[in-house]
């Protein structure tokens, strides 16, 4: 009777913990961007946030969703990708609006670009998706251009995935590219710290949040037997986070050269 009563208590507790872990996986990745979003909106300054982080996360999560069609994995991981895509689009919208409002020049850059020699003409330019200026890629003046680019990438990769969905090699490679792209998100920060021989301007609290989030995510992958690509790249993310923390210790304890005062996009990474 006592064992039965204990089991009656443990079963809902186990389910509650599972729901909590799933919820943390779905929404945990967007938590660092909430204060970042509010700060940009309050200060009307987006210089401290790199929109290339949005590019990396959009590519990684679109590929992860496509991977789901070839190999079904945990539903929370799928929903995490959907929520992250929405979050990155919201971040892009805000950053674009703030940047354009602060620009002194009136030149407009577009994904569907006109002739680069005639950027300020008053007549509507003839646009083509094939002649955009690569020098201004992902630095456009309207949010709709980012949406067009994301939709184009999604349609092209979606069509390729549809054609090769029966190939297990393609599907596994797609899954690896998805999680590997996200795993490399901290590498630019690691390299920038190495170049400057300093971590000045980088939020140590944010890096600690990355490390705890990536550790939780990796453990979740392993315990729920997610595809091996997820576990391997999760471990890689943790190693990159630890390497950045080691830089914090080394460069604070053994300063090596004067620091160039450049903006660090330190507050942008997925958990």
Each of the 271 residues of the chain gets a pLDDT tens digit; together they read 455 555 666 666 666 766 776 677 778 778 777 877 887 888 887 776 778 878 888 999 999 999 999 888 778 888 989 999 999 999 999 999 998 888 765 556 666 655 444 444 444 444 444 445 677 788 888 899 999 999 999 999 999 999 999 999 999 899 889 888 888 877 777 877 787 787 775 667 767 877 887 888 888 788 877 777 788 888 888 898 899 889 888 888 776 655 444 444 444 454 4
Burial 205-217 (b: 16+ CB within 10 A, else e): ebbebbbebbbbb
Q: Which two tokens mark 123?
A: 């007549």
Residues in contact with 92: Cβ distance below 8 Å, sequence separation at least 6, in sequence order: 51, 54, 143, 146
φ, ψ (nearest 5 deg) of residue 186: -85, -10
- 193/203 Cα distance (integer angstroms): 12
Query: Token pair 């309050």 is at which residue?
Result: 42
Which H or E element spans position 213? Answer: helix 204-223
Query: What is the value of pTM for the model shown?
Result: 0.71
Q: Tell me the CB-side half-sphere exposure of residue 39, using CA atoms within 13 A.
A: 11
Q: Do 94 and 37 contact (CB within 8 A), yes or no?
A: yes
Q: Which two tokens mark 66?
A: 């496509």
Q: Do 146 and 229 contact (CB within 8 A), yes or no?
A: no
């Amino acid at each position: 009777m006592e064992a039965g009563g204990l089991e009656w208590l443990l079963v809902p507790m186990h389910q509650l913990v599972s729901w909590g872990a799933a919820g943390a996986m779905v929404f945990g990745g967007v938590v660092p961007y909430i204060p970042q979003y509010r700060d940009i909106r309050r200060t009307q300054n987006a210089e401290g946030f790199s929109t290339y982080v949005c590019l990396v996360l959009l590519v990684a999560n679109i590929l992860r969703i496509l991977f789901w069609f070839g190999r079904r994995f945990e539903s929370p991981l799928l929903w995490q990708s959907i929520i992250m895509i929405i979050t990155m689009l919201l971040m892009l919208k805000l950053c674009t609006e703030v940047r354009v409002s602060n620009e002194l020049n009136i030149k407009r850059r577009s994904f569907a670009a006109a002739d680069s020699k005639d950027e300020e003409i008053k007549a509507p330019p003839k646009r083509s998706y094939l002649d955009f200026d690569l020098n201004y890629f992902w630095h456009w003046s309207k949010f709709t251009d980012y949406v067009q680019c994301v939709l184009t990438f999604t349609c092209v990769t979606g069509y390729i995935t549809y054609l090769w969905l029966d190939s297990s090699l393609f599907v596994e490679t797609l899954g690896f590219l998805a999680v590997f792209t996200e795993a490399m998100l901290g590498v630019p920060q690691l390299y920038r710290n190495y170049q400057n021989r300093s971590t000045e301007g980088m939020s140590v609290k944010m890096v600690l949040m990355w490390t705890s989030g990536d550790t939780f995510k990796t453990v979740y992958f392993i315990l729920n037997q997610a595809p091996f690509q997820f576990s391997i790249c999760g471990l890689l993310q943790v190693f990159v986070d630890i390497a950045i923390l080691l830089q914090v210790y080394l460069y604070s304890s053994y300063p090596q050269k004067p620091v160039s005062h450049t903006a660090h996009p330190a507050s942008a990474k997925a958990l």
